[in-house]
Every structure is written in C-alpha cells, then in structure tokens.
Structure 1
Amino acid sequence: MFPIVADPENIELNRIQLQYKGIAGTVLTVGRQRINLDDQRFVGSVGWRDNEQTFDAVRIENSSIRNLKIDLTYAWSDRTIWGIDGVGANQQAVSGDNVFANVAYKTTVGTLTGFAYLVDQDETVVLAKSSQTYGARFAGAHPLTKAVKLSYAASYARQSDYRNNPNDYSAEYYLVEAGLGFSGFTIGGGYEVLGADNGVALTSFQTPLATLHKFQGWADKFLATPPNGIRDLYVQGGYAKPKPFAGVDAIALNVAWHDYDSDRLNVNYGSELNAQLSMKVKKFTFIAKYADYDAKAFATDTRKFWLSVEYAY
C-alpha cells in the first residue's frame, strides 16, 4: 500500500505497510500506517483537511479470544500533518519510542477498554510532551424502545511525565457523555476534563498524538491543553438521512456548543459554536463547516468557515 496525500502546501507519503494475517485471529502490520484507537482521544490519524498523521510502527491486533481484543503497537516515528514543509515545533516527523497498549472486552451493554500509552518523543522542541498515561474507557448503546436508543461513554486516565520530559507533573482526565438517537435525530452532551498540576506550561494533561480537531471545538484553540487545564461542557445534536431523496444520496447536519473553563483557578476561557452540513451526491461529498469561538479569558475571538468537496472512487 503506497498512498500519497497532497494539498496545495504539503505533500506526504501517507502509508507504506506490509500486513500478515496468516495466524488465526491476528493481524500484524509493519511500516507506515494509520492508527485510530477508540474515539481517537489519545491516538488518531487527524483525518481532516491537511495530511493525515500516521506512524512508522509495528502493530499486533489479536481477537482470538471471544469478545476480547488485544492491540499492541511500538512506534518509532510520528509522521505529522505538516508533510515535507514541517519545521521547528511543527516538524515533518517526530522520532521516539512510543508504546500503545489497548485491551478491549465487549459485553452486552458496551465495551470496556483498558489502555496504557507511553509517549516518548526525542526531538528537543517536543521533549515536554513525553508522558505516560494509564486509564480505562467504557462505551456502549442500549435501545430504550424500538425507535429510541441511548448511547453513553465514560473514561478516566491519569498522566505523568515520562523519560526525558524536563517537567515533573501529574494530571487527571475524565469524560462522561450521553445521548439519544431517534428517527435520524441525535441529541446529547458531555463533560470532559483535562486536568492541571501546578499551572506551568505543559504540566497539564496533554494528548499530542490525538485527532485533536475532533475535540474541544473546531476553531482549534485548545490543541495543546492550557497550563491550568480545561473543563469542556458541551451539548450537541444532529440529523442524518442516509437514504436517497431529491437527487441527494445522503445528508447530515451536526451542531455543537461548548463552554470552556480552566480546571485550576476557575477561569472562564470562552465558548464556541460549531456546525457542519454534508451532502453526498453519487461519488461526491460536499461539506460546509463553521466554527465561532467567543473568547473571554483565553486566546482571541475566532471565526472559521470551510467549504470542501471529496471524491471517492
């Protein structure tokens, strides 16, 4: 597999991997690869707009025991979204010794996952992002009636400095989320906390290998967790019609609102409105996306608007 991804400013060799499936219930992947774990809160491919984030790694996935999946990765390079133009803190690649361990057990009411993520980044400009994170996540869904389904998720983790990180810190993470789905509509909300230690930069809970654009607002104001941490209270809703109508094969609308506060010192950072409309017409998908961040005590007021077209062949 040799995909090359490009945009007007960047180009990357996205993946070059070999895969072996000769052992029952086991997949072995070696080379440059896409890795998305759980909801991508800790490890993800950042599949939005620019290049993807991929990893030079060895990954073993085993599901030979019923309802149990063991997923182990050793990655020696993080290939960032910046492509060949990556410089300084936004490097093309970050070398290191990263270990991702993820063990998931599926039950009738949801999936319980335990994880350990050891992020060891060797490059000088990102040494302070090296960390060890241990935690658990539970996520599932349950029908309340024939037409209404309840979804839910909860997660907890604890993080501390690792290897050559010059900082000495410890911080907690937790998430609770719930939603209802009915007749194509969804509505729900959640509360996510990335905790702080002493208020020094990069001593709060960090997730540098996550699909960061997916979390805490599309204006991307919190790609690095502020020194005093962050508490994100959000509500969201949407509508999806996956069946063709009026010449459109599928349509989806999603809206979310966030209120941001610090975890330490009780500072109101600001709030944000997000909205996205997507339509699929044959092999084309048209997307309109909007983010409006209203700053109070962090960053500045920001509005972003995107129009994009995707073609699948």
Structure 2
Amino acid sequence: MTEQYSIGQTGKPWQAGEKQQWLAQQTKKRDYFEDIEPQINALSADYQIEQYGVLDYETHFPLYALKSANWRSELPVVLVTGGVHGYETSGILGALAFAKKHAKTYDGEFNLLILPCISPWGYETINRWNPAAVDPNRSFYADSPAQESLLAMEYVNPHLASIILHIDLHETTDTDNSEFRPALAARDGKINHNWNIPDGFYLVGHTQKPEAAFQQAIINTVQAVTHIAEADEHNALIGVPIEQFGVINYDATSLGLCMGMTDAAYVTTTEVYPDSPNTTPQNCIDGQVAAIEGAITFLLAQK
C-alpha cells in the first residue's frame, strides 16, 4: 500500500474537478512532431502511410498507420500496435524499428499493418492516461470513451477477417508503482496495492486463446536479445500467476485491452522493463523487434 495520492480524498472517486486538477499538472516533456512523426514519414518509400484520425486535444495529433507497400488482399494480416500507453517508449520505437528492418521480409507471406503510436499525447507528457484521465488500454470496446482506442478500432475493423496475429508492444516501468497505480487507485476511490516490478521481458497472453507454444516461441527468440523476467516468490509476475517461463495471461477482451480488439488467433502483449540495470534503451527496442520476429517466425513454421 502507498500513501494517499496528492489529488482527491481517500475512498472517493474523482469527479470532474479532480480530473481537471490532474490534467493541469501534466506538462509536455518531449515532442511527437519532432521525435516520432518524422520517423513515420521516413518510411514512405517502403509503406503506404495512412492517417487514420486526429486526436482532438489542445494540440491536434494526427494518427498514422503503416501498410505493406505490396498489400495483397488474399494474404493474412500481421497487426503490430505500439504506444497505446504513450510513455512506453520502446513500444513506439520498437514498432518503427521493426517496420524499417522488415519492409520486404514477409512479402508474399503476410500483409503488415503497423500502428506505431496510438497515444501521442501520452508520449509527449509521459503518461499512461489521456487528457480525460482515461486509460486507452482499458478502453478497446464499443463506444469507447478514449479517442485513441476508438479511432484505432475503427481503422482496423475493415481488416478483422484477415488478421491472424496481433502483437501489442508495452513496457512495465518503475513509475507504475511510483505514479500510475497510485493515481489509478485515487481516481477510482480505492486503496492502492503496488505490485512487484519484474526485472526483464515478459509476455501477457490472452486467457481465451493462450496459445502456449506461440508465447514460448516468442520468449525463446527474445531471450537471445535480452533477459526474461523471473517469477517472484509467489510464482507470479505483477501479481498474476505465471503460465510458463516469462508468460502470464489476462482476459484481454473483458478488460478492454488492445490485444483483445481483434479475432486474431494469435495475440500477445509484450512487456519490457526499461529501468533494469541490466538493459539499455536500445536493448529494449531490440527486444520488442525480436518479439515480433519470433511471433511471425512461429506462424511461418505452421504453414
């Protein structure tokens, strides 16, 4: 348990005033238009770049998707999403690094559909939530209250029948305990209980379609690049019992998680730990890229 958060009263969910107070404390710390948008545009020779929406905030953020240049309607689709939590940097940069490295690798096998930065405001302010104090990664459902989630779903929906794989790129950070979980508890009028932060990479599979061999193949690939998180003394990661080395499962659909927004047979969420003394920012990006590569290699082996 942690001390009461700086906004609100213990046991009372936030109302509009508290949410506005929280928003007033958020400041811009980095620039989407300088850091991320140019990297997306630099891929225009190798991908179709489609703007699928604009976030209607004080700053208007255009949202982009990358589609295989040689898109073939008969091919299955591999969906990669990053930056659902905009502060989780290696998810965004990992999606872009994968796109740059593999523009042609899977031609004739899969169509690639990559949404590299779903939450640009979160990227700029280093935030888990959007300006309305809503978590996009709990908001992937019909009539979503999060613009980020709603626009992504509307864009992806025409491809649902073809999506075979969806991998969503995330991080678990020390700020989960120092800021984001205490804020969540305060917002919802609950008592906060922090979790153990795993030191290393791990995966969150979907309880409705766990596909253990698929998850294991990703872990095996990532293990050659960066270290995998060991279970804690309760044989758990972030309070959830492990299913196998480096893997836990959530019911993504009922929780409104991004990885639950399609009917893809193979889904997973990556979790990188950038605050580990045993890693670097580049190593985290490499781990994200390796995870996508491992997932696709597994699918190719099933053909």
Normalising by structure 1, we get a TM-score of: 0.26
More strand by share: 1
TM-score normalised by the chain length of structure 2: 0.26
Flag the structure with larger Rg. Answer: 1
Structure with greater helix percent? 2
